[in-house]
Amino acid sequence: MARETTILAVAGKGGVGKTSLSAAFVRLLSEAYPDRRILAIDADPAVGLAWALGVEVRETLDDIRKSIVSSVEDGAPRQAIELLGEARFRILDTMVEERKFAFLAIGRPESAGCYCTVNAYLKEVITLLAGDFDYVVIDGEAGVEQINRRVMEQVTHLVLVTDPSRRGVQVAQTIRRVAEELVMYRRCGVVVNRLEEPETAGRMDLGGLEPLAMIPTDRAQAGNDVLGKSVFDLPPGAAILRGAAVCLGKLGILPAGAENGKEV
């Protein structure tokens, strides 16, 4: 019997630590399930997940999309049709295989402005590839746009990330409201990151969002950023890793106690 793919989409306001949490998810899953296929998708045009995972990107989804568009514009429809037919194989070739996980980047279109076209392509890619993997972690762009455009309409778990600010919580609530209408998710909750005073976590008004983890400011993570190191260079006890483990444990994706029994 085929195993169902678990698709984790990470969303929230910019600057709250979505990428760091996504990278922590990838590390924990690859360590806990070395025999499973794991795909990390950098769906944020800011392209931070590659850096956080220590991956060098050679080609992106947008590179593939532009080659198809160029073929059509050059009057070569037969070649464009062939490229579309081979898109799945080209995407598989594009993926970087590292540390027992595969990585795929959406890329950054050369022209400024709307990412509608590449987002539409990303939606098809998620549908196309999901069945080839046991776990898919998607680091989404900041805000609600990819949710609003149904880019992530078939995820199993929607993990919202906020900092302790009221604005961050409001953005998470907005994403959840939009997702309730447009996304077929099984579970949705929020991770509160970068808590300077963890003892105040219990007094936060999350507006009905299910709390999945409360993560204090991580000095080890900050040091990693300064030195340009990846999530795999963090010590096992780093706050971001323990918090990510708590989150995955509550979602039933990691076994209980994966964070050494210490909820942060």
Residue pLDDT, tens place only, 245-256: 999 999 999 986
Confidence (pLDDT) at 262:
43
Confidence (pLDDT) at 218:
83
**pLDDT tens across 162-216, in order?**
999 999 999 999 999 988 888 788 999 999 999 887 666 667 889 889 999 999 9
Confidence (pLDDT) at 190:
96
Please state the pTM of the whole predicted model. Answer: 0.83
Confidence (pLDDT) at 113:
47
Cα–Cα distance measured from residue 227 to residue 71, given in angstroms and rounded to the nearest whole number = 42
Cα–Cα distance measured from residue 90 to residue 65, given in angstroms and rounded to the nearest whole number = 11
Pairing of strands 157-162, 187-195: parallel
Q: Quick one: 159 exposed, middle or buried, by C-beta within 10 A (0-12, 13-18, 19+)?
A: buried
- Ranges of residues in the chain with a pLDDT under 70 are 1-3, 47, 65, 67-99, 108-122, 145-152, 198-202, 256-264
Domain 6-250 is in which class?
Answer: alpha beta
